[in-house]
A and B are shown apart, each in its own frame.
Chain A
Amino acid sequence: MKGSRGTRSTVALKILMALSGLAFIGFVLGHMYGNLKAFSGQAAFNEYAEHLRELGEPMLPHSGLLWILRVGLIVALVVHVVTALMLTRRAHAARTQKYAVKKNVASSISSRTMRWGGVTILVFLAWHLLNFTIGKINPATGDTGDAAGDPYSLLVDTFDLWWMTIIYLVAMVALGLHLHHGTWSSIQTLGFTSTAASRARAKAAGWIIAVVVAGGFSLVPLSVLLGIIEK
């Protein structure tokens, strides 16, 4: 039985959740930075999109490194969602009789919306992949695949629709809230905040990551809608 008690504990589940979450933080930072290429124009953006597929060539086949990263993200997603489900079930079972009156005095809104915020991001992710990766669905023309146009045109067509921009901005609010608590919580779960000063730094990191990622992502759809980025 050696090893089983520690690795099956709630704390070990939290550590898995923290590690997969940190992988996502690395991903969204890179993704957000890449998106800003849209400000360099159609040719630069499309070249960047194609370059992602050529990374690692000729050592790796076409799209090789991209698929390695994708598999990593899929594994992280499965770990993150499965541990979330297990911990949520445990938390609900820990208090089956609710309080008639319960006040929250110290917790942030972001910390209390982690579960439903996570579900919101997951639903958004499904549409986002259909929109730009799997289906390349152009919501303006209804075209899919290659007919939807090059990555830059697909992006501009999508965000020229005000309601598409709203959907993406709402998702970025959910992502920002999730990152605000998730960043600090993952650092705490990994045990790097054993003093008041390091706790304050981890909470500050949560704010910075949330604002930089959600803000940086929002720049592109807003700029398209305002006509700063156009075909």
Chain B
Amino acid sequence: MNLTLNIWRQANATAQGAMHTYQLGDVSEDMSFLEMLDVLNEQLLAADEDPIAFDHDCREGICGSCDLMINGQAHGPEVTTTCQLHMRSFKDGDNITIEPWRADAFPVIKDLMVDRSAFDRIIQSGGFISANTGSAPEANAAPIQRDKALRAFNMATCIGCGACVAACPNGSASLFMGAKITQLGLLPQGQPERDSRVIGMVGQHDAEGFGGCTNIGECTAACPKEIPLDVISQLNKDLRTAIKNGH
């Protein structure tokens, strides 16, 4: 298929960026979206032009590196990561606009790459448990109900890609925080730091410049791991409880 690609180009973090248009022919529908960009980059290199910088790592939907806004949707039209999006989701003659995540807390490094270390700092300010190191504990020493274990696991599937922030009109990272807070809050290991966790994470979230949640639901629709909106309710409840407990 033949495609017209409108892609954000920006030389570095401080340079003024702009949309550039590229024509790409002979695209196979079996290619992944990133492979399509690889082909474009090979053409740019052959023409002695600067290739388009974009984030990617595992290319199997589990690392959370790839992050493209495709035709106004985070990770494109399917519920998956950009690397697992295939060109069969598009058709011949399509016009595809590709932009980086837009959030002031995710500054552009180059072209389509953004710096998502704000997420790391949010995790560092509470998204962990304190556990003694050494040999693994006895597996049956801390019984956990099956439904809680499953729900905690589902919330732990968040890969921190940032699609929730990218899709949110307020640039809020509430879904990201809610997934971690729900995951750890369901388990006995997460209880000792439960109050300080939510206070620390929300405080860092606000300090990074993310916006507040308006419960509109664009985040959960964009989430490649389908984290549900009720984790934000849990986040709010945990913060309310922490304030009540004097934090």
Contacts and interface: CB of A to CB of B under 8 A. Distances in A.
Interface string B216-247: 11101110000011101111111110110011
Contacts of B220: 106
B109 to A, nearest CB: 14
B1 interface: no
B100 to A, nearest CB: 9
Given A100-B19, A191-B237, A198-B230, A91 B170 contact: yes
A223 B238 CA distance: 48
Nearest to A5: B203
A126 interface: no
A201 to B, nearest CB: 12
Contact of B233 (A10, A100, A103, A191): A191
Contacts, number: 168
A181 B246 CA distance: 31
A99 B213 contact: no
B237 A194 contact: yes
B194 to A, nearest CB: 13
B102 A188 contact: no
A63 B120 CA distance: 57
B239 A185 contact: no
Interface residues of B, number: 53
Contact of B6 (A3, A7, A100): A100
A226 to B, nearest CB: 37
Interface stretch (B27-35, B38-46, B67-75): B67-75
B103 interface: yes
B212 A91 contact: yes
Contacts of A90: 170, 206, 211-212
B211 A94 contact: yes
A97 B171 CA distance: 11
Nearest to A101: B72
B61 interface: no
A189 to B, nearest CB: 5
B161 interface: no
A76 interface: no
A53 interface: no
B211 A101 contact: no
Contacts of B238: 191
Given A91-B212, A196-B228, 12 more contacts: A12-B239, A98-B102, A100-B8, A101-B69, A101-B71, A105-B218, A111-B217, A184-B215, A185-B214, A185-B215, A194-B234, A198-B233
26 contacts: A3-B243, A6-B202, A6-B243, A9-B199, A14-B213, A15-B236, A94-B104, A94-B105, A95-B102, A95-B103, A98-B102, A100-B97, A103-B72, A104-B218, A106-B217, A106-B218, A181-B216, A185-B214, A188-B229, A188-B233, A190-B237, A191-B236, A191-B237, A193-B233, A198-B233, A199-B233
Interface of B: 6, 8, 19, 69, 71-73, 97, 99, 102-105, 169-172, 198-200, 202-203, 205-206, 209-218, 220-222, 228-230, 232-240, 242-243, 246-247
Interface of A: 2-3, 5-7, 9-15, 87, 90-91, 93-108, 111-112, 114, 181, 184-185, 188-196, 198-199
